[in-house]
Amino acid sequence: MKEIYLDNNATTRVADEVFEEMLPFLREQYGNPSSMHAFGGRVGRAVSLARERAAAALGCVPTEIVFTSCGTESDNTAINSALTARPEKRHVVTTKVEHPAVLSYCKNLEGKGFDVTYLGVDREGLLDLDELRDALRDDTAVVSVMYANNETGVLFPIPEIGAICRERGVPLHTDAVQAVGKIPIDLSTLPVDYLALSGHKLHAPKGVGALYVRKGTPFRPFLIGGHQERGRRAGTENTASIAALGKALELAAAGVGHENTAVRALRDRLENGLLAAVPDCRLNGAREPRLPNTSNISFKYVEGEAILLMLDQFGICASSGSACTSGSLEPSHVLRALGVPFTFAHGSIRFSLSRYTTQAEIDAVLAELPRIIERLRVLSPFKKGGPEPLDEKPPCTC
Ligand SMILES: *Cc1c(COP(=O)(O)O)cnc(C)c1O
């Protein structure tokens, strides 16, 4: 059985063209790009080409791109950089719905005596920009707001947020790991100072990412050592993966149109089909503005884990918005921030498509999932018309 992979916000398959791009650097072209000899220099030119491709895809100049080991490193580096460059500023503004790469880093900063403001979202998952404006202080070192939410796909208005930050002279970092390749991004007009992206979310391999740093923005390296990346990120370059990322970004920029037509149409087919076929289900987060590939749907009275296990039997890969921790099912921090009621939050499933998703795959999900939900509801202790469970942590049955 061939799996139906609808978990592309977790990770993606490496594109064939990207794989081909890597091979020389895993075999014969193993030189160190920093070496003086021509053998290393050839590899150095491949790294330069990747940087040029990345810059062309994002609308910036190559020297503004720093290659890193992942999206997490890019996020950590941006925030750390802003704080380290201006040590008198000890305040960070972010949101409650960030990926752990930003959220956990900020929690960690609080433990070190920094001050962090976490902006909430409304029921649609959207920010109140007046609240953001009010949160900015004279000692705010950086604002870190994600471009697209990995769980719901909801987009934040980064152009407007950037304009607000500019007015106050505060640098803006955006975690664009889920946005790159799915919506158009043009850094020549987008008012952001740092932007993080990750290879494995856009059909390059795991373990490579990039951080855009606008020219003139204060920067301090996170990894300290050799002079690689013009002294901005020490460590011998992961040449094969950097070449891969360059190629993947070129493909991503060329594929944004396809994402917003073909992929969006398949996502809508899945979403509308499920909402019509299954009673008591709802979409989590705003319908628009949203990534074209993501759909987060809650099925009332059932647990996400149970749905995933049943889907798995049909080879269907998706993910759920709750994690079983210490014997209780904890709904995701994102769905909680949206105020999704517990009875819905527990049965939430995220479907995330890619350019490789086919209509036959979507139709297979539409054929199986309504039956799965029906069967699980028969077994559920919570039934329609029965007593409503309290809106607090229910016991875990997994
Ligand atoms: C996956 C993801 C990250 C982390 O990227 P890694 O390369 O896995 O470290 C950060 N932010 C968002 C929004 C993500 O989806």
Cβ–ligand 1 distance for 298 under 6 Å, the answer no
Tell me whether residue 276 is in a domain. yes
Is 275 found in the same domain as 237? no
Cβ–ligand 1 distance for 322 under 6 Å, the answer no
Mutate to test the pocket of ligand 1, among 9, 147, 178 (most ligand atoms within 8 A of CB): 178
Tell me whether residue 215 is in a domain. yes
pLDDT confidence band for 397 (50 / 70 / 90): very low
Cβ–ligand 1 distance for 77 under 6 Å, the answer no
Cβ–ligand 1 distance for 99 under 6 Å, the answer yes
Tell me whether residue 41 is in a domain. yes
Cβ count near 198 (within 10 Å): 30
Alpha helices in the chain (DSSP H): 16-26, 38-58, 71-85, 100-111, 129-135, 158-168, 228-231, 239-258, 264-277, 304-313, 333-337, 342-345, 359-379
Q: What is the CATH number of the domain that holds 89?
A: 3.40.640.10
Give a three-class secondary structure readout of 288-329.
Answer: CCECCCEEEEEECCCCHHHHHHHHHHCCEECEECEEEECCEE
Report the length, in residues, of the chain. Answer: 398
- Mark which of 199, 227, 252 sits at the end of a domain: 252
CA-proximal residue: ligand 1, atom 15 (nearest): 150
CA-proximal residue: ligand 1, atom 14 (nearest): 177
**If you measure from the C-alpha of residue 76 to the centroid of ligand 1, how many angstroms do you get, rounded to a whole number?**
11
Could you give the CA distance from residue 184 to residue 57 in angstroms, rounded to a whole number? 9
Is 329 found in the same domain as 221? no
Q: What is the CATH number of the domain that holds 326?
A: 3.90.1150.10
> How far from chain centre, in Å, is Cα 52?
23
The rounded mean pLDDT for the chain is 94
Tell me whether residue 387 is in a domain. no
Could you give the CA distance from residue 96 to residue 117 in angstroms, rounded to a whole number? 9
**If you measure from the C-alpha of residue 70 to the centroid of ligand 1, how many angstroms do you get, rounded to a whole number?**
7
DSSP 55-98: HHHHTS-GGGEEEES-HHHHHHHHHHHHHHHSTT--EEEEETT-
Using one digit for the tens of pLDDT, what is the confidence trace for 110-146?
999 999 999 999 999 999 999 999 999 999 999 999 9
Ligand 1, residue 209: give the atom nearest the CA. Answer: 7
Residues of the domain holding 280: 4-8+256-379
Is 60 found in the same domain as 207? yes
- Mark which of 222, 252, 282 sits at the end of a domain: 252
Asked whether the bond before 289 is cis by omega within 30 degrees of 0, the reply is yes
The amino acid at residue 31 is: G
Could you give the CA distance from residue 338 to residue 219 in angstroms, rounded to a whole number? 34
Using one digit for the tens of pLDDT, what is the confidence trace for 170-210?
999 999 999 999 999 999 999 999 999 999 999 999 999 99
Tell me whether residue 277 is in a domain. yes
Cβ–ligand 1 distance for 150 under 6 Å, the answer yes
Is 160 found in the same domain as 72? yes
Is 328 found in the same domain as 248? no
Q: How many domains does the chain have?
A: 2
Is 262 found in the same domain as 238? no
- Which position among 60, 106, 324, 398 bears the catalytic label? 324
Mutate to test the pocket of ligand 1, among 201, 241, 294 (most ligand atoms within 8 A of CB): 201
Is 283 found in the same domain as 240? no
Please calculate the CA angle 106-107-108 and round it to the nearest 5 degrees: 85
CA-proximal residue: ligand 1, atom 3 (nearest): 71
Is 94 found in the same domain as 32? yes
Using one digit for the tens of pLDDT, what is the confidence trace for 342-372?
889 999 999 999 999 999 999 999 999 999 9
3-state SS class at 165: helix
Pick from 183, 218, 221, 213: nearest CA to 196 = 213
Tell me whether residue 391 is in a domain. no
Could you give the CA distance from residue 83 to residue 106 in angstroms, rounded to a whole number? 11
Is 270 found in the same domain as 211? no
Tell me whether residue 232 is in a domain. yes
Is 271 found in the same domain as 240? no
Predicted confidence at residue 163, as pLDDT, reads 98
Which residues, including other chains, have CB under 8 Å from residue 32's CB and lie 6 or more apart? 40, 43, 236
Using one digit for the tens of pLDDT, what is the confidence trace for 236-290?
999 999 999 999 999 999 999 999 999 999 999 999 999 999 999 999 999 999 9
**If you measure from the C-alpha of residue 178 to the centroid of ligand 1, how many angstroms do you get, rounded to a whole number?**
8
Is 284 found in the same domain as 219? no
Tell me whether residue 111 is in a domain. yes
- Mark which of 200, 226, 252 sits at the end of a domain: 252
Mutate to test the pocket of ligand 1, among 104, 173, 175, 180 (most ligand atoms within 8 A of CB): 175
Q: Is 70 considered catalytic here? A: no
CA-proximal residue: ligand 1, atom 5 (nearest): 71
Is 234 found in the same domain as 105? yes
Q: Is 342:330 a contact under the CB 8 Å cutoff?
A: no
17-21, 318-322, 365-369 — which is least confidently predicted? 318-322
